[in-house]
Chains A and B, each alone.
Chain A
Amino acid sequence: KNQVEQSPQSLIILEGKNCTLQCNYTVSPFSNLRWYKQDTGRGPVSLTIMTFSENTKSNGRYTATLDADTKQSSLHITASQLSDSASYICVVSDGGGGNKLTFGTGTQLKVEL
């Protein structure tokens, strides 16, 4: 069964600090891995999409890494801001017909003053 597991489940950091969120997956076949940011009660917003051949991808203060061999990804947030408080969801696509996505349950990040 395809699975995406994220850790930690929740995280509290001080504004200005960096943090790293983890994602392990057992999706096969693998097409791409996506990170989304979801504010409370809102729809997920795409941060990065990485295919098999990409090791790292950045979007402003967000940098995602992918190790397709160990089936692990991380999302690094630099110089956190209060507006970074959200749930961060790792999503893996098998690339099959219908582009099946398997969603992680998310890491709830809270940035405090």
Chain B
Amino acid sequence: EAQVTQNPRYLITVTGKKLTVTCSQNMNHEYMSWYRQDPGLGLRQIYYSMNVEVTDKGDVPEGYKVSRKEKRNFPLILESPSPNQTSLYFCASSLSGLFNYGYTFGSGTRLTVV
């Protein structure tokens, strides 16, 4: 089944403790992206990747890092999480970032930073 898999689904952590949220897709998609969703706001892009070893900042990149060493994986790294990073995170992938291709979203990771 074609899908984007995120792990973990739920995570509670403490301020300052480094964490990684994994994202993997099995569709050989070139484009991958991370979003956060907060109440009353539309999804906001954190980082995106047009292809392997090509990443760029989205609208809200502060406090986050990403890497794209392989086509299928696009982990989101929070080096020193803070409470304002408590949010619902989604990874998405698309065949290409250049054209009108649809996006496939993961099921989300609900992160709470205390």
* B4-61 with Cβ < 8 A to chain A: 4, 31, 40-45, 48, 50, 56, 58
Interface residues of A, CB < 8 Å — how many? 25
Number of A-B contacts (CB under 8 A): 58
Q: How far is the CB of B41 from chain A (nearest CB, A)?
A: 6
Closest B residue to A3 by CB, please name it.
B42
Proximity bits, B76-111, A CB within 8 Å = 1, else 0 = 000000000000101010100111101111111010
- Using known A-B contacts A41-B110, A42-B107, A44-B105, determine if residue A105 contacts B42 with beta carbons closer than 8 Å: yes
User: In the bound complex, what is the Cα–Cα distance between A55 and B45 (angstroms)?
Assistant: 28
The residue from B40, B41, B94 contacting A99, defined by CB atoms under 8 A apart: B94
CB-CB nearest in chain B for A5: B42
Cα-based distance from A45 to B106 in the complex (angstroms) = 9
Known: A42-B108, A43-B106. A32 touches B100 (CB 8 A): yes
**Interface flag for A51 (CB, 8 Å):** yes
Contact (Cβ within 8 A) A89 B56: no
Q: A41-B110, A43-B107, A98-B56 are in contact. Are A93 and B100 (CB under 8 A)?
A: yes
Bound Cα distance from A97 to B96, whole angstroms: 11
Q: A45 CA to B56 CA in the complex, in Å?
A: 24
Q: Which residue of B lies closest to A105 (CB)?
A: B42
The residue that A104 contacts in the complex, of B42, B100, B105, B107, with Cβ under 8 A, is B42
Q: Taking the nearest CB of chain B, how far is it from the CB of A83, in angstroms?
A: 17
How many whole Å from A27's CB to the nearest CB in chain B?
12
Nearest chain B residue, comparing its CB with the CB of A46? B102
Chain B residue with Cβ nearest A32: B100
Q: How far is the CA of A103 from the CA of B48 in the complex (A)?
A: 15
Chain B: CB-nearest residue to A41: B108
Beta-carbon nearest neighbor of B9 in chain A:
A41
Residues of B near A93 (CB, < 8 A) are 100
Report which of A41, A45, A98, A102 forms a contact with B50, defined as CB distance below 8 A. Answer: A98
A22 to chain B, nearest CB (A): 15
